Structure 1
Amino acid sequence: MDAMQRLEGLVEQLNQYSYHYYTLDQPLVSDKEYDLLYDELVALEAETGITLPASPTGRVGGELLKGFTPHRHLSPLWSLDKAQNEDQLQSWNNRAIKLIADYNSKNPDTPLPSPSYVVELKFDGLTLNLTYTDGKLVQASTRGNGAVGEGILAQVKTIKSVPLTIPYHNGTIEVQGEGIMNLSVLAKYNETALEPLKNARNAAAGALRNLNPRTTAERKLSAFFYNVGYSDGIQYSDHREMMAFLKDNRFKVNPYISYHDSFDHVVQELRLIEERRPSLDYLIDGAVIKITDMRTREVLGYTDKFPRWAVAFKFEAEETTTILESVSWNVGRTGKITPLAKVEAVELAGVTVQNCTLNNVGDIERKNLKFALGTRVFIRRSNDVIPEILGKVTEEQDGEEIVYPVVCPACGSQLEQRGAHLFCNNRLDCKPQIVARITHFASRDAMDIETFSEKTAEQLHDELHIHEPADLYTLNFDDLIKLDRFGEKKANNLLQAIEDSKSRDLGSFLFALGIPNTGKSTTKVLADHFCDLSAVMSATIEELTVLPDIGGIVAESIVSYFADPDMQAGIQKMLALGVEAKAPEKSAGPIADSFFTGKTVVLTGTLHQLGRDEAAKRLEALGAKVTGSVSKKTDLVIAGEKAGSKLTKAVELGIPVIEDEDEFIRLLNGEKE
């Protein structure tokens, strides 16, 4: 009786979650939590031998929404069996190999080939089934229950990556793919949205199942295609042929697809995909492994629910839900006040999460989190950064209020709201701002003062009243030797490091100043163009906006910074104390026959032998132009270890990529390509 009650409870609970997830597009729990309950139900059904009529294990998809025209697929859209670890994956492969061997023993004259495999990304969006007749898109639908879906032709037509006509005109075909919203598109959409979207999956699903196609168009969705489910006039011998057909007919195919004769290589590829996952500009929750040979697929066939020739390998979830417990407020070097959320500890992407970012007060308002303390929220972790709160699980304002500060939590000064952010304007006497500015000034990419740390900056502020970077150049041995934990050696080393920093180049000095809205690449552009500190300080907005990667907001930040009397005084003080801030001398010119001469090059990922800074210098010395972003004007991308979204974009644009660092160094050294 206890087992039966648990079965009934799981079925009811999972069906409720499925209704909210698939039908209403309002998920109540994360995929990770749903999968745990689903796996428990599968195990309990196997143990008891009982499957209730309404069990979600007995169906493929969700219910139809009212308002959409039903569409019966010409060929079924199957779900996939899943493997959540390598042992389960190996079990799937062993079963497939055994079935192939059994067939070959009975059919020695027409044996199946040894299995080879294709590995594709498993996108986290909404499945699309497109119907083309005589080259024209005549219908588009959701998966529905696998046999009948919802007609969404008007919505799908708003996706620019979906071809409205294709070269193939010989009858009818159905093509399957996934409608997605890129993460960068989602972030830009949420900057101005009155109702921000919680995640990219729900954004895509909600747009495609919206009765107003204009709403779909506003989301700027994309789609990847990976299967021809039905054709009345063409057949393929293997998966490669089918993918070539899709590409030839202008369907967008994801570049991350690989073919393997060895199953060990399949496992290695899965590990690489999982490493690359945080750098992708779209959500994936795993990878799909398929046997490539079409005749083998036909022989292996299907179970009641799954093809025997394919399996989905699930990755560790990057999104889950937890309780928002409290919010604290931190002061940054520009005076910006940033909220930091403490949540109930939860496992996510292999780590225990207790803190999450909330960005700013505008973010709290947009995500309906103003009254969310003590309630359940969605959180997401990616790229090994602090997780982000995406929004409340429910729409009700049923939690305690997050109270915004009116005075600085560090110095007590009145706060000012500018746009979505709160600021403390007491930059000359607010300790966290001062310590952060001095720490940034001394950092490696800035003035590179060796052995300097945030702890050192805090000690110098508290005990020697160091209030700005210029004060570092007034320090002497007698000042330092009296400090706690400062012996003669440490004092002399710090003084020598400060002295050495005086000769840092103009680009490093400009970056060290911490000009709002400028990064290292922008300050390098300034240094290379003006070649003189005075010229940079007197530059106008018009002079700045003609430079690459400098828009109106950045130009205004630069001009405002150098117009500030306090900033001017600090810079003049440093120059008087011996800081040079000179532009590096121009080299004699690039090597005429260099492979890189005249090329626009982007560096991404970790270069172990050279480092990206040294690589950039070597490239520029050879006449290359090194930029920070990939575009159609990019000639070459150098991709080191754990290369991210820049590599993805380069592949999508068809830009040549060098991923072998040894090959890159050979080319730098003038060896032939």
Structure 2
Amino acid sequence: MFRAISRRFLNTPMNFKKNPTTDFQPVGELSQRQAEKQVRALREGINYHDLRYYVQDDPEIADSVYDRLFQRLQDLENAFPDLKAPDSPTQRVGAEPVPTLEKVEHRAPLQSLQATLEATAVQRFMKNAREKAGKNTINFVVEPKFDGLSVEVVYDSGRFRYGATRGNGNTGEDISHNLKTIRTLPLTLQHRNKAPDTLSVRGEVFIPKQGFTTLNRQRVEYGEEPFANPRNAAAGLMRQYQSRRVAGKPLCIIFYEILAMDEEMPATHQQVLTQLGDWGLKTSPLNKTATTFKDVEHFHRRLNEERDDLDFEIDGIVIKVDDHALRDTLGSRNRSPRWAQAWKFEPRHEITKIQDITVQVGRTGILTPVALLQPVDVGGVTVSRATLHNEHEVHEKDVRVGDYVRVIRAGDVIPEVEERIKKPGRKRCAPFKMPHRCPVCSAKVARDGAYHVCTAGLSCEAQLSGRIKHYASRNAMDIDHLGEKAAEQLVTRELVADIADLYTLKEEDLRQLQGFAERSAAQLRNAIHAAKNPRLDHFLYALGIPHVGRRAAQLLAGEFRTLKRLAHAPLKKIEGISGIGSETASATKNFFADKRNRDVLERLRKMGIHVQPMPKKHGSLSME
């Protein structure tokens, strides 16, 4: 039986491009030779389907089939570790963290572009190029100016070797580990047997608008500051030390120049773009040729009109001389070529489009609707989000996803939507509704006056970093060295899932935090464990119960004296305390009634937290 199966699979053509089979022989029954043959064929097939899906936008197989091919390759590489290779598609999922971003010298300078907002400057540029050529008519190539992160990518014998940021133009930072996670970047060139031994190309890493909106929605829901614009987001992700934090993010890359190669360069830029496409390096489908200023002006005007509807941010167009010999004649300035000119669009001011309306969960669980905007300049600051305060305000201003709105900076600081700009004839989306479940933890959302509140309390991850910071503050548990940045990192690195996890942290965990070395990690761990005997009023304030500030915490602690008595107190008893309103009483009762909160409190007890009873009342309570 085994021999029959082995023979059948040996005789099966190893081609996973057209109508690929997923009827695989068990991995344990494969010889080294069979596994090697199948791994090679799977990589070739997966690379082909990556090209069809991510570069050519024309997939040939269902996602489920692709997933099975990918899983099979992972299984084979795990079973036969010596078959793993740096250019395997499985390497996109994220490698081990790098200790630092090493400096890399570029194969050729990555120059910046001279930019203008004036049509007359573009006319002068084109006239100068024609005069240098000694011709009345020459060819230009016009391209969208992507607002992303410029990078150099180097291939050796058709295989990805490394990639680097632009840096100062001559030297950049090696970001190979993060670039490899981008699906539109081929790790092996198409027709690599025809590729030059060494090839250096220039591209732009960017995040599509929809992906940017999704990223910012996630950050806002978790109470984090959103990225100002897609370029900042792309740059921030590319400079991460841990590629696992980058893998799966909606990053793309577009290529537009050959910087260097050990073969003769194509004669024209149009030929360069064609050659890049043949290698499987994605180029912009919007690229056009032009001969007159009228052609260029039309391209500029059309893209400016369409930019809001494109799925990526552009801030202008780039006009390039097509002929490479003429480029050599024109030469370069100190930092920019004379054969290319950027014609930028006027920046958006104050009026912009709502890409999405999401909900931010604050430290106390209050849900706040937030408008995610196409980045817009407001008083010299790029704004990509604006608060809508509460559901009533959203309905009062009648703003919806897809609407154009005027944005102001309230008090010259906090961006907010001032009004909707009516666009007659434009079909509008459905009105916004607050969710019935927390967008982060799925707990039930309760109405509290004008606000909506997540009922999960201490177990809601979105509230966690703010709660940790509050828990550690001077008037609460008074834990030194545990500030906002440390709290955020503890959550984002998944070291802490609730406040009880603080007491399980080891020094090696804390050394992972940016800015923490051996000594500071030890200091923080010691400070956490030193805060195990809080007085009841400080502990109540530290828990961050809605409406329970320092004064209310002291009143509650003074009346009930122990945590157990307060936790089991009836609502009427709490409401009867002078100075405690009905909202505070209800919030306190609901907090202790929630099983998730009780579970966290029990874990804290098991970690050694001994809440000290309040002393008997002697006169009025002090705020200290």
What range is the shorter-chain TM-score in? Answer: 0.3 to 0.5
Instruction: State the TM-score, normalized to the length of structure 2.
Output: 0.42
